[in-house]
Amino acid sequence: MRQAAEAVVAAWEGGSDVTPAMVALKAALAPAPKASRGPRIGTKNEAVLALLRREDGASVAPIIEATGWAPHTVRGYLAGLKKRGIGVEVLKWVKQIGPNKQGAETE
């Protein structure tokens, strides 16, 4: 970066075109692009993503069991994944009914 700044000063003092030197200086000052990284190891986020990546996916119940979250928190987390650009496909809906909360598939 220092060399790019010195090149701008030298071009300015020398009376030559400073445009190429300014372009180089702007490139040197630009923030580095953020590296895309996965979730930190050992987090609830990693656990949920691992469950969702399984071949048969995961329902809300195993995610609740793995994280200790309430059902509405799991649903909110899944909605947040969509906002972050991580697609989650719903394969089937299961309505919890009865005293033992047994599932009844709906279409």
pLDDT (tens digit per residue) in 45-70: 999 999 999 988 888 889 999 999 99
Any domain includes 37: no
Mean pLDDT within 12-30: 83
pTM of structure:
0.53
Judge whether 97 lies within some domain. Answer: yes
Same domain, 1 and 52: no
Residues 56 and 93 in one domain: yes
Residue ranges making up the domain that contains 75 = 44-106
Residue 96 lies in a domain: yes
Q: What is the 3-state secondary structure (H, E, C) of the chain?
A: CHHHHHHHHHHHHHCCCCHHHHHHHHHHHCCCCCCCCCCCCCCHHHHHHHHHHCCCCCCHHHHHHHHCCCHHHHHHHHHHHHHCCCCCCCCCEEEEECCCCEEEEEC
Q: Examine the domain organization and report whether 1 and 48 are in the same domain.
A: no
Domain count, the chain: 2
Domain identity same for 53 and 77 = yes
Answer yes or no: is 69 within a domain: yes
Judgement on whether residues 54 and 91 belong to the same structural domain of the protein: yes
**Domain assignment present for 36:** no
Residue 38 lies in a domain: no
Write the pLDDT tens digit of every residue in 66-100. Answer: 999 999 999 999 999 888 888 888 877 777 676 66
